[in-house]
Amino acid sequence: MSVATKGSGLTWVGRAIRRLEDPALLTGRGRFTADLPAAHWVRFVRSPAAAGKIERIVAPDDALVVTAADLADVKPITPMLHKFEYRPVGQPILADGEVRFVGEAVAAVVAASEEEAEDIADAVELSLADAIPIIDARDALAPGARQIHPSAPGNVILQSRIVTPEFERIWKTAHKTVAFDIRSRRQNATPMEPRAAHAAFDFATGRITLTCTTQMPHLTRTAIADVLGMPERDLRVIAPDVGGGFGQKMSLAPEYVLLVWLARKHQSCFAWTEDRRENLIASFHARDQSIALQGAFDANAKLLALKADIVSNVGAYSCFPTTCGVEPLMAIAELPGPYDFCAYDCRARGVLTNTCTMAPYRGVSRPIITFALERLMDKAARAFAIEPAEIRRRNLISKFPYKSAAGLTFDEASYQETLRIAREATDLPGFRKRQAQGRAQGRYLGIGFATFSERTGYGSPAFAARGMEITPGWETVVLSVDPSGFVEARIGSSPHGQGLRTTLAQIVADQLGITPDRVKVVHGDTDRAPYGWGTFASRSLVICGGATLMAAQKVRAKLLKLASHMLEAAPDDIVLEDGEAKVAGTDRTIPIAKLARESYTQTYRFGGIEPGISETGTYDPPGTFSNACHVAEVEVDIETGRTTVTRYLVAEDAGRIINPMIADGQVHGGVAQGIGNALFEEIVYDENGAPLTATLSDYLTPTAREIPQIELHHLETPSTESLTKAKGLGEGGGIGAPAAVINAINDALSDFGVEIDEMPATPQCIRAALRKAETKA
């Protein structure tokens, strides 16, 4: 890290420097929640049935077992939306009177070791009067279906409708319409670290410290204090190193509440680590949706109007804080994608069933709506006998700002350009030749495109538009320089692999003329970090980065002011570089460390300046859209149905890139999850609501063999809606991959008259489609 900075302007931003996070993580000195020792270990007894009344819970004598009866003073977790006919639904910390999904926690057992706790949990007898569970969203919507919650008639937790003016008239002008249904099957984010919580009572202060695997430490604190009716100041929440979240760890887990309750009641220290089976069946699921889609096109294959009905199976409860409205509401708001049309008629519903509750998972609904819209484009392309890349070229937006049919404003971006770059890099004519040659040899190659926008870095206005009672969005950063001259940035975001300790240090380093290793980013501990909303929704670099920049600019201004006193020059004549404040064009210089020290210890000399150096930045932007074009080449083995992704290309634009290595890593990881979503991953329930995919041998996340080398092409359209000019990109990789891969499968199989409109497109599903087409022929 000893490269000299050269003058003002960007020196560290834009460079692929090694991560400051890495040395500890590489040497086994990471600190994850399960690494903490505890006096008592907790194990949850979980419902084996998907629905039914609890008749009796019998625990072994002498065992410390907690049930809902002990938690009468504890409020259920009840997130709230004030729009869209949202029906509030409360989740008790432990099932209260009835169970609503297999895996729901019914009791908690405490023992001196994890092994013992599990022995006791096994010995707890649970008597349930089984009810017939409702697993499928269609069954939940059927007239007369049993209500899963008294407050949600018809099992609809919310409903939203958008109809643009003159929709019917525009629809009728269509030259061709395309109609079909898509099915997205249930996913599990499957972070490598299962969830865990550790709650410790401190006798000296009477406070509880909860260390847990959360993406939102402050909100976890607020919510738990509220549910337990305790002063928030008595609860400290620490998100230590967290082993992946992807959204699953942003929703409040009832288990965390129980741990804090135990610590308070018994004034001791309790720990819980989720096992993999629990994570797969009882944490949070995602993406169980069906969309019926119709598109109307003019004679030039230009999309005129889009009609859609979206049904989202949200599970048995509602996740906090977003509520389970998040998937259907995002779907209806963003389904129009990056295409230029104005007529839109869409209904979206969130439907309750006796399955595990959904929570946001990287991209949330965007992988699904992108899949739907991109299948529409490909089907229309075939109907019009034009190339898939061409129909997109005719329809992608290109003038900004652009207001979508759903009312979202797209800022400056490069939709057409990324398509063009991807198309050129792919060598489409060359591919078509290879495809034809392959067919002659009985090999089925296919190519698939996906163009999409990614809504990122959106602050509170976006969440307020959904009517969320808890409206996240802004971020605050407190940046200080201590008397030793080292810099500390305390942030409200909560990174868990995104490299924020490095990228924010790069931003600060550029402003202050120092090296990034002199900047320590502190996050995750509510006692140390200013209130913030954590890390999710591709927001941290944009919003926390913006707040960091604001605070750094203020610190810079202060340093210049201090320096101007010391060096007797105007602030405009002073430059910060190489850790020094220098009068430009002279050899008059003073170390920044000295300025810092004297701002504390010799304050009187600076005539009325506030002592020390500590500045705050708070940023709450409206949001900024990044964009990408993904291209997948596949080979489908028609005998076994196996799809191999042979090439994967991304042309993306996420505005100014702070650290290219970290940015690329986000795309790689997102694409890998997207390929998993497209081909492998599916949470399956049987008709009784018993999970059939409860091990990592059944829920199949991809390995290194299944993910090809990803070719990345970058554009940078500096964001006009982001102080750092960066846009978010954490989710983009996962958004485009299912569409690109499955479009490629359909392209490979176009001779067979099959249409694969579901994901994952498993070998079995492809073989079934081929067999059906064979019998028809």
Partner 1 sequence: MKPAPFTRHVPETIDEAVRMLAEVAPQDGRVLAGGQSLVPIMAFRLAKPAHLVDINNVAGLDRLAVEDGSLVIGATVRHAAFHKQVADNPLGPLLSAVARHLAHYPIRTRGTFCGSIAHADPASEWCLVAATLGATMVARSVRGERAIAANDFFEGLMSTALKQDELLAEVRLPLLASDTRFGFVEFSRRAGDFAMTAALVTWRFENGAMCDVRVGIGGAEPSPRRIVEAEGVLNGQVPGDAPFRAAAEAAANAIEPMEDHQTSAEYRRDLVRAMVRRSLEQSAQ
Partner 2 sequence: MSDKVPITLKINGCAHAISVEPRRTLADAIREDCGQTGTHIGCEHGVCGACTVIVDGAPMRSCLMFAVQADGKNIRTVEGLADGDTLHPMQQAFMDNHALQCGFCTPGFLMLAIGVLEREPDMSDDDLLDVLSSNLCRCTGYQNIVKAVRAAAKEMRK
Residues at the contact surface with partner 2, assessed by CB under 8 A: 16, 18-19, 21-23, 25-32, 34-35, 37, 114-116, 119, 189-194, 241-244, 246, 273, 275-276, 496-499, 661-662, 664-665, 667-673, 695-697, 701, 703-707, 709-710, 733
Q: Which helix (H) or strand (E) holds 369?
A: helix 366-384
Whole-number Å distance between alpha carbons of 387 and 395: 13
Q: Which stretch binds partner 1 (CB under 8 A): 73-81, 491-499, 553-561, 684-692?
A: 684-692
Residue 686 near partner 1 by CB under 8 A: yes
The residue (of 241 and 334) whose beta carbon lies closer to partner 2 is 241
Whole-number Å distance between alpha carbons of 720 and 730: 19
In the complex, least distance from residue 245 CB atom to partner 2, rounded to whole angstroms: 8
Q: Which stretch binds partner 1 (CB under 8 A): 332-340, 436-444, 447-455, 691-699?
A: 691-699
Residue 762 near partner 1 by CB under 8 A: yes
Q: Which helix (H) or strand (E) holds 375?
A: helix 366-384
The residue (of 111 and 593) whose beta carbon lies closer to partner 1 is 111
Other beta carbons within 10 Å of 687: 11
Residue 695 near partner 1 by CB under 8 A: yes
Residue 122 near partner 1 by CB under 8 A: yes
Residue 130 near partner 1 by CB under 8 A: no
Residue 687 near partner 1 by CB under 8 A: no
Of these, 277, 420, 432, 668, which contacts partner 1 (CB under 8 A)? 277
Q: Which partner, partner 2, partner 1, none, binds residue 194 by CB below 5 to 8 Å per kind?
A: partner 2
Q: Which stretch binds partner 1 (CB under 8 A): 347-355, 499-507, 538-546, 636-644?
A: 636-644
Number of helical (H) and strand (E) elements in the chain, helices listed first? 19, 29
Q: Which helix (H) or strand (E) holds 447?
A: strand 444-456
Strand 156-163, strand 207-212: pairing: unpaired
Which residues partner with 343 through β-bridges? 305
Residue 382 near partner 1 by CB under 8 A: no
**Backbone torsion region of residue 119, taken as left when φ is above 0, otherwise alpha when ψ lies between -120 and 50, otherwise beta:** alpha
Phi, psi for 208 (deg, rounded to 5): -110, 135
Whole-number Å distance between alpha carbons of 650 and 450: 10
Q: Which helix (H) or strand (E) holds 392?
A: helix 388-395
The residue (of 38 and 478) whose beta carbon lies closer to partner 2 is 38
The residue (of 151 and 703) whose beta carbon lies closer to partner 1 is 703
In the complex, least distance from residue 277 CB atom to partner 1, rounded to whole angstroms: 6
Whole-number Å distance between alpha carbons of 472 and 29: 32
Whole-number Å distance between alpha carbons of 444 and 147: 48
Q: In 9-168, where do the E strands start and end?
A: 40-46, 52-58, 64-66, 98-99, 105-111, 125-130, 156-163
Q: Which partner, partner 2, partner 1, none, binds residue 122 by CB below 5 to 8 Å per kind?
A: partner 1
Residue 640 near partner 1 by CB under 8 A: yes
The residue (of 569 and 634) whose beta carbon lies closer to partner 2 is 634
- In the DSSP assignment, the letter for residue 195 is P
Strand 125-130, strand 156-163: pairing: unpaired
Phi, psi for 575 (deg, rounded to 5): -120, 140
Residue 776 near partner 1 by CB under 8 A: no
Burial call 400-429: b when 16+ CB within 10 Å, e when fewer: eebebbbebebbbbbbbbbbebbbeebebe
The residue (of 146 and 276) whose beta carbon lies closer to partner 2 is 276
Residues near 771 by beta carbon (within 8 Å), at least 6 away in sequence: none
The one-letter amino acid code at 774 reads: E
Residue 771 near partner 1 by CB under 8 A: yes
In the complex, least distance from residue 8 CB atom to partner 1, rounded to whole angstroms: 51
Helix (H, G, I), strand (E, B) or coil at 189: coil
Q: Which partner, partner 2, partner 1, none, binds residue 669 by CB below 5 to 8 Å per kind?
A: partner 2
Q: Which partner, partner 1, partner 2, none, binds residue 242 by CB below 5 to 8 Å per kind?
A: partner 2
The residue (of 100 and 501) whose beta carbon lies closer to partner 2 is 501
Whole-number Å distance between alpha carbons of 604 and 229: 47
In the complex, least distance from residue 103 CB atom to partner 1, rounded to whole angstroms: 14
Site string for partner 1, 696-725 (x = CB under 8 A): -x--x-xxxxx-------------------
Q: Comparing C-alpha atoms, which of 203, 197, 202, 231 is closest to residue 217?
A: 197
Residue 639 near partner 1 by CB under 8 A: yes
Whole-number Å distance between alpha carbons of 154 and 133: 15
Whole-number Å distance between alpha carbons of 39 and 533: 31
In the complex, least distance from residue 699 CB atom to partner 2, rounded to whole angstroms: 10
The residue (of 114 and 598) whose beta carbon lies closer to partner 1 is 114
Which residues partner with 455 through β-bridges? 625
Q: Which partner, partner 2, partner 1, none, binds residue 243 by CB below 5 to 8 Å per kind?
A: partner 2
In the complex, least distance from residue 44 CB atom to partner 1, rounded to whole angstroms: 13
In the range 308-367, which residues lie near partner 1 by CB under 8 A?
Answer: none
Residues within the interface to partner 1 (CB under 8 A): 114-115, 118-119, 122, 275-277, 637, 639-642, 680, 684, 686, 692, 695, 697, 700, 702-706, 762-764, 767-768, 771
